Amino acid sequence: MRLLFIIDHLSSGGAQRQLVTLAVKLVEQGHKVQLLYYYDSEFQLERAVSGGVACRKVASGSRLQRLFLIRDEIRCMDPEVILAYLTGASVQAVIARFLSGVKCPVIVSERNQIAGTKLRLRLDVASLVYFFADAVVLNAHHVRLEFEKRYPWLRRSLKTIWNGVDLADFSPSYESNSVGEDQLTLLGIGALYPVKGQMDLARALLLLYKKHGVAAKVLWLCRRPLNLSDEEANFKNEVAEFLNQNGIDNCWEWMEERADVRPVLASCAALVHPSSRDGLPNVICEALACGVAVVAPAALENLRLVQHGVNGFLYEAGSIEDFAKKLVCLSQRSDEEMRKMKESAREFAVENLSINKVAEEYSSLFEDSLRCGTKDK
């Protein structure tokens, strides 16, 4: 099947990683996949190309210029199905396919919950365009419920497909994780914005040390300093200042993003993911696949991913006290209890998060869309 994927850029973001992972897997299964993007960030480009995905960058220019360039690419490739990720690329894909005159299904995918005034307004406008898409894929059940409630005209088009992980690439390390040692080592991964919860983690870290007497070290992976936006740089400084003022700056290490996070995951007792705004976090899926416990707020899709006390711990969202208490629980786990937690994490990933399973779900959706024909309203 000839597939055209469209996204804004190929950075290290979760949506970008997920689309490239899906594209590579579909190429392995015999599909021909071309991927269009239009911004310069190309962190995932090498992985996509080495996986057999034909990648092409269209000149960004103005939105109107970009729209017509995408239209021309659709005419040139004549795909059987178009799949677009994220709001901007999805809106352009629907309109460009219409302008191209090519009669093929176009499927769009949103990757975050409806939160914040700016995003809500963007999605309100986008939802009107999505009415003309053949399917709207959401990567979390709670996001689907939000869409059904706010955009009832899209109900028949909504599909839920979780993110997938290549279980061959992300597999458990049987080296000792950092529980039972002098210091509890925790890993965090994500962009530096207040909604991602780094300040909550810093406050929990302080409480963990001063109230509970547990020594811990946080390794936080984020974009390298030169690639940070002003907003990210300012927030990073704010977190660093809090750590310094409270004398725990030596308990936190900023690390640059990397293509392979597996060695860092293997060295840590758990992944901490304090964000309560994500759709379905890739980092949680990858950690579970590696057999690493997860500590996250009891909210949204975390309630389906993290089985409290089995493959990780859930804390009350917004409660620094409960966050710290769950980290204490983690630190008190014996080696045998951690081994069982590791096995449970992997078992959950094998049953629910395999990229093979996700690719099959997308392939079925593509085939169903072709059988139904292009939506014409």
Which helix (H) or strand (E) is 185 found in, with range?
A: strand 184-189
Rounded to two decimals, the pTM is 0.89
Quick one: pLDDT band at residue 377, thresholds 50, 70, 90? very low
Quick one: pLDDT band at residue 145, thresholds 50, 70, 90? very high
CA-wise closest residue to 157 among 126, 140, 132: 132
The ranges of the chain annotated as CATH 3.40.50.2000 are: 2-164+354-372, 184-352
Q: If one looks up domain 2-164+354-372 in CATH, what number appears?
A: 3.40.50.2000
Residue 256 has pLDDT above 50, yes or no: yes
Mean pLDDT of the chain: 92
**Of the ranges 60-69, 154-163, 208-217, 237-246, which one carries the lowest mean pLDDT score?**
60-69
C-alpha dihedral sign at 184, 186, 192, 197:
negative
pLDDT per position as a tens digit, 164-183: 999 999 999 755 555 545 68
Q: Residue 159 — left, alpha, or beta (φ > 0 → left; ψ -120 to 50 → alpha)?
A: beta
Which helix (H) or strand (E) is 149 found in, with range?
A: helix 141-150
Largest CA distance in the chain: 66
How confident is the model at residue 375, as a pLDDT? 63
Q: How many helices (H) and strands (E) does the chain have?
A: 14, 13
Q: Which residue type, as a one-letter code, is found at position 204? A: A
pLDDT per position as a tens digit, 331-353: 999 999 999 999 999 999 999 99
CATH architecture for segment(s) 184-352: 3-Layer(aba) Sandwich (3.40)
How confident is the model at residue 178, as a pLDDT? 52
Quick one: pLDDT band at residue 304, thresholds 50, 70, 90? very high
CA-wise closest residue to 214 among 338, 93, 327: 327
How confident is the model at residue 223, as a pLDDT? 78
